[in-house]
Amino acid sequence: MEYRPLGKTGLAASVAGLGCGGNSRLGLGRGASVDDCVAVVRTAVDLGVNFLDTAEAYGTEEIVGAAVRSYDRAKLVISTKAIFRGGDDTAETVTAKVEASLKRLGLDYVDVFHFHAVGPEAYAHHRDVLAPALIRLKEQGKVRHLGITETGPRDPEQKMLARATAEEPGEAPQETLWEVVMLAYSLMNQGARRKIFPVTRRRGIGTLLMFVVRNIFSNEAYRRDVFAKLVEQGQLDASILSEGDPLAFLVSEGGAESITDAAYRYARHEEGADVILFGTGDRDHVRANVESILRPALPPAVVERLHASFGHLTGVGLDLPGPV
C-alpha cells in the first residue's frame, strides 16, 4: 500500500480508501450478513487500506465499528458524515449527530467528520450556523478534522465546493475552515482539474475522490447509451462511435486490465488526488480494486487523449446509487 499526507491534517492516508456506501454498502445492498460485511472491511484493512469512509445515511457505521475493534485505532483514518436539512438544523443538531455516530462506531473520536452532500443553496447555513458546533467538537477531541462533501449529481458544476475551498476564515490567508473535501472526479468528469485541485493543492486541503468508477465504466450497455445521448446532445462528435466502444482504447492502447482498471488509475495519478474511494461488498473485488489503484499511471498519450476528448464534459457518469 502507498500512503500520502491528507492535505495539512497530519494524517497519513492510504491512496485506496474503502467507501462504505454506494450501491454495495459493504454488501448490505444485496442482503449480505453483518459478518460478511465486517469481513469486507477487514479484508481491506489487511491489505493496507487505513482510510475508511462511512456515513449515517449509509447504515454501515456499526459495521465499520465492529470491524476495526481488532486493529490499532491510531493507525486508522476513519471518516463519517451526516446530512443536515438547511434552516431546520442547528448547532445542537450537529452535536447530537456526531455523538450518535460515535456511539454507533463505538469510538471516542473520528478523524474526519463531514457535512454530507451540501448543495450551493445550503452552504452558507452549514458554514455560519453549523460549522461552529463542529469546531467546538474538535476542541473537545471528538472530531479531529472538519470536512465537507459535495452533491455531485445535483451540483455538477461544483459551485459549492469552489466557494468552500476558496474562502478564507479570519484574516490569515492560508487558514481553511474545511480541512478535507470529498468530490466527484473521473475520466468522464474532469472539472475538478480546473476548478478544485489547483486550490486544494495550494491551500493544503485533503481530497477524497468519489464517483471514480460508476456504471458508465462497468456496464457496457449503459455506457453505450450514455455516449449515444452525448452525441445526440452535441457534446461529442458522432465520429466517436465509429469504431465501437469509445473507451476501448484504454485497454488496447493504454494497457489497462479493463476500463474500470483504467478509471481507477486515471484518478489515482491526477495531481491533487489524495485518496481514491472504492466501494464493494465482495472481498475479491476489494483486492482487485486495490490492485488497480496501486498500478502505474496510464501512458501520457492516453491521458492526453482523455483530456482532449472528454475534458469539456460536465457531470457525466454521476449516477446516484440505486438498487443492486
Q: How much is the pLDDT for 42?
A: 98
Q: What value does the mean pLDDT take over residues 19-23?
A: 94
Q: How much is the pLDDT for 311?
A: 97
Q: How much is the pLDDT for 322?
A: 52
pLDDT tens, residue by residue, 249-290: 999 999 999 999 999 999 999 999 999 999 999 999 999 999
Q: Rounded to an integer, what distance in angstroms lies between the CA atom of residue 146 and that of residue 162?
A: 17
DSSP string, 70-123: TS-GGG-EEEEEE---GGG--HHHHHHHHHHHHHHHT-S-EEEEEEEEE-GGGH
Helix (H, G, I), strand (E, B) or coil at 145: strand
**Checking DSSP bridges between strand 77-82 and strand 110-118, what pairing results, if any?**
parallel
More confident residue, 323 or 6: 6
Q: How much is the pLDDT for 169?
A: 64
Q: Rounded to an integer, what distance in angstroms lies between the CA atom of residue 173 and that of residue 73?
A: 34
**In percent, how much of the chain has pLDDT > 70?**
96
Q: What value does the mean pLDDT take over residues 226-237?
A: 97
Q: How much is the pLDDT for 324?
A: 29
Tell me whether residue 237 is exposed, middle or buried, using C-beta atoms within 10 angstroms of its C-beta: 0 to 12, 13 to 18, 19 or more: exposed
Q: What value does the mean pLDDT take over residues 220-238?
A: 96
Q: How much is the pLDDT for 126?
A: 95
Q: Which helix (H) or strand (E) holds 64?
A: helix 61-68
Q: How much is the pLDDT for 85?
A: 84
Which cell numbers in the block locate residue 259? 476500463
Task: Report DSSP state, residue 189.
Answer: B
Q: What value does the mean pLDDT take over residues 126-139?
A: 96
Q: How much is the pLDDT for 173?
A: 47
The domains found in the chain, sorted by start residue, are 3-310 (3.20.20.100)
Band (pLDDT 50/70/90 cuts) for residue 56 is: very high
pLDDT tens, residue by residue, 168-180: 665 444 568 999 9
Select, from the ranges 1-15, 74-88, 169-183, the one with the highest average predicted confidence (pLDDT). Answer: 1-15
Q: Average pLDDT, whole number, for the chain?
A: 95
Threshold 0.85, pTM exceeds:
yes
Q: Rounded to an integer, what distance in angstroms lies between the CA atom of residue 186 and that of residue 263?
A: 7
Half-sphere exposure of 27 (CA within 13 A, CB side): 18
With beta carbons less than 8 A apart as the criterion, state whether 187 and 254 touch: no
